[in-house]
Amino acid sequence: MNIDLKNLTIEKAHDSLKAGEYTVLDLANAYLKVIKEKNSELNVYLEVYVDVMAQAERAQAMFTDGSATLMTGIPVALKDNMLFEGHVASASSKILENYKATYDAGVVAQLKSQGAVFLGRTNMDEFAMGSSTESSAYGITRNPINPDYVPGGSSGGSAAAVAMNGALVSLGSDTGGSIREPASFCGIVGLKTTYGTVSRSGIISMGSSLDQVGPMTKTVADAEILFNVINAYDAMDSTSVPTGKRVSTTTTLKKRIGVPRAFVSTEGVNQEVLKNFEESCEKLKNAGYEIVDVSLSLLKYSLPAYYIIMPAEVSSNLARYDGIRYGLSSEGDKLFDVYAKTRGAGFGKEVRRRILLGAYVLSHGYYDAYYNKAVKVRDAIRNELQEVFKEVDAIITPTVPTLPWKFGEMSKDPVSMYLADIYTVGANIAGVPAISVPSGFSESGLPIGLQITAPHFAENTLFTIGKDFEKLV
């Protein structure tokens, strides 16, 4: 059975499955074959689930009994921080190496009920901390577009899975850019959803006020289909917004898009990225959008605010890995020794760095100077954005200020890697949705992405503009 995986979309696969051109098992097998061919070189999947065929059979039965939906039988890759009952979820950390999920994450349960087929779990930066997937405890993942380069991170495995045709779609999580940045580096679409729209239940937490799950796909239409399934209230997530309150202020599109000029051309931005961005602006103009300059003078403070708030939440969230309740447990004479030895052996360098930073900014005497100030900055950024959204439907910037880099190029200096998040963290700080759509290639053939940001709950705006843009690239 020869299925053209490169050009396959959810709708095409659904039509073929419905027409009986191939079965869910054929489709799953086609992806498993690609994984078998490519995974040893690229290290995209940490595990291919043993029950893929059993899942495929259940999905095929839904076609027979007429209960199939668009997602039935669609092969999905899961980031390694999403719980799938009975399967390992390690967050790419040694501390959770053998941890088996005892329940399904909200998103997993929603997709399961529709008969999606989970192929396996993908590599990521340890506990989602990083922008290159180099901080995984289980080796690097290579970029399928050019294996000498990083795939981005932290959802690098989920991006690479789609880019190498090793899954039709995947799920990633985004705390400061971890869906959009790897999507941009691997030449695919990545959507960070409005905070509160997609369940965080059963997602291994990083920064709870910032984390969101979202789709990683080849097309904007696929991102929309997947989003429509996971955009659901979940009582198991205390920050899940009730359906009736998911109201966007955007009613009709003004067809006006804002460019925060000064912010876009901040120091150190790659010239090819800037040139590509200007070309994207032209393309959108040709598609009938008015492109206007907007002033967002506070947006540049998103990055410093993020690197205070995120480690503070990391240090509290990761306190639960103490050698008593979950995963790895080292022997020790006293309780404190058990904690120290377990955490010393189980956490990698980047994770320890952030726990230390977080404990510091939350400590007595520094709490007001750092954490409280960052929270105030966060409010100010959100308010400024909301004001600008009265004038424009969306804001555009490049997704990442650099091209994908080679392995090791950034890891010696953590701050240079943190700077790669400059354009993406704003959406997490403000809680608004943002999408990265492929916008072309550098001269050396590396993918570049355009980021579109919309007001709270205005994912539809992103889909409309994203689809218009996609046609022009």
| Residue 79 a catalytic site member | yes
Asked if residue 131 binds ligand GLN (CB under 6 A), the reply is: yes
User: Which residues inside 138-157 make contact with ligand GLN, applying CB under 6 A?
Assistant: 154
Site string for ligand GLN, 409-448 (x = CB under 6 A): ------------x---------------------------
Contact assessment for residue 117 and residue 74, using Cβ atoms and an 8 Å cutoff: yes
% helix / strand / coil in the chain, to the nearest 5? 40, 15, 45
Asked if residue 177 binds ligand GLN (CB under 6 A), the reply is: yes
Q: Min. distance of Cβ 419 from ligand GLN in angstroms? A: 10
User: Which residues inside 21-80 make contact with ligand GLN, applying CB under 6 A?
Assistant: none
Asked if residue 126 binds ligand GLN (CB under 6 A), the reply is: no
| CA geometry: angle 61, 67, 70, nearest 5 deg | 100
Q: Min. distance of Cβ 175 from ligand GLN in angstroms? A: 3
Asked if residue 176 binds ligand GLN (CB under 6 A), the reply is: yes
Strand partners, 172: 214
Tell me which of 154, 170, 315, 436 is the catalytic residue.
154
Dihedral sign (CA 59, 60, 61, 66): positive
In eight-state DSSP terms, residue 240 is P
Q: Min. distance of Cβ 23 from ligand GLN in angstroms? A: 36
In eight-state DSSP terms, residue 399 is S
Asked if residue 178 binds ligand GLN (CB under 6 A), the reply is: yes
Asked if residue 174 binds ligand GLN (CB under 6 A), the reply is: yes
Task: Tell me which stretch binds ligand GLN (CB under 6 A): 84-92, 123-131, 195-203, 442-450.
Answer: 123-131
| Residue 154 a catalytic site member | yes
Residue 48's SS3 state is strand
Strand partners, 76: 118, 169
Tell me which of 93, 170, 178, 302 is the catalytic residue.
178
| Secondary structure tally for the chain: helices H, strands E | 16, 11
Q: Which is nearer to ligand GLN, 131 or 280 (CB)?
A: 131
What does 135-180 look like in DSSP terms, one character per residue? T-TT-----TT-TTB---SSSHHHHHHHHTTS-SEEEEEESSSTTH
Site string for ligand GLN, 268-307 (x = CB under 6 A): ----------------------------------------
Q: CA 143, CA 309: separation in Å to the nearest integer?
A: 30
Q: List, by residue number, the catalytic residues.
A: 79, 154, 178
Judged by the rule CB under 6 A, the positions of this chain that interact with ligand GLN are 128-131, 154, 174-178, 206, 310, 421
